[in-house]
Structure 1
Amino acid sequence: MAIDIKRSYEITPRHADQGGGWNLVLLQDGEEAGRGVFPIPQEGPEVGMAWWNAITVQSRAHWLSVAASAVPAAARHAYLLAEAYDAAQDQGETWSS
């Protein structure tokens, strides 16, 4: 007889004072079985400007829209937040599949 184990995950935001990003909780049969932290990388403004200069006009418009701002640094922050979320989601999906 096979045992049916249910695996799932939850992603919640981390507080800005902890570095922002996301917390991942891995669940097995509704109980916590592990966790991960996906912070937003701390980087200097030169990294953000290099990113901004390297992306297309369409990508700039997209990330400014996501950030709801006209400031390139806010667009970079939105991008990094999305990247961290995607990494957490990828790990959660691997866990639950």
Structure 2
Amino acid sequence: MAIKSCEDCSNKFTYADSFKAAWGLGIVQCDTCNTKYIMGKGWRLLTYVLLILPLILQGFLKTYLKSATLVVIMVYLVTVLIVVPLLTSFNRKLN
């Protein structure tokens, strides 16, 4: 789960940069050489699916978890918020 680095100067992106890109516009900029990278479409789609998944499974969760449904959904969403920036890769360079 390594945070990616700039292809031009090998400067490593920080977790904060990846977090802002994953939950913002999907763009990260190298602090050293100002090169911009964009989050791949596949990662953006995966992020949306992970966020929508509890809504899709809500009926299933209510049936089997009863009163703990809200707690499970909240823990899941916090986990997604923390983990997605660690897994996101920036593979296309912007001009």
- TM-score class, shorter: 0.3 to 0.5
| Bigger helix fraction | 2
Of Structure 1 and Structure 2, the greater strand share is in 1
Q: Tell me the TM-score normalised to structure 2 length.
A: 0.42
Question: More relative contact order in 1 or in 2 (CA 8 Å, sep 6+)?
Answer: 2
